[in-house]
Amino acid sequence: MLQDCFKPDFFNTIGGLQPVDDEVAELKRMRVDPAFQRRGLGRRILSELESRAVALGFKWIKLDTTTIQVGAQRLYETAGYIPRGEGVLHGYAVIFYEKCFADQGDDET
């Protein structure tokens, strides 16, 4: 079950977060209707979901996307997600990504 969803019906978009543990949320079901793609909506949804994850206390977001979804890969990589490997989920070749939101200022001089 999704912990948090963001779906502005006007744009026919959806995205959600599912807790993995106390520090990690998984981005699930992020979609933008093809008629509304290439308008920055995916980036807006991703930004909103990241803000919600941080507000809920998560330090990491993990996600996967299929290897053929080049636009999604570009979105995640330009938003700071790091590819962490490839695999197969439900018969689809996927790339696993993650992004850390934890304060990394501990080693400041």
What pLDDT score was predicted for residue 27? Answer: 96
User: How far is residue 109 from each of residues 100, 101, 103, measured CA to CA in Å?
Assistant: 21, 21, 15
Between CA 67 and CA 96 the distance in angstroms is 10
CB 33 within 8 A of CB 12: yes
Between CA 43 and CA 6 the distance in angstroms is 13
What pLDDT score was predicted for residue 103? Answer: 67
pLDDT tens for the chain, residues 1 to 109: 344 455 554 557 788 999 999 999 999 988 888 888 888 888 999 999 999 999 999 999 999 999 999 999 999 999 999 999 999 999 999 999 999 998 643 444 3
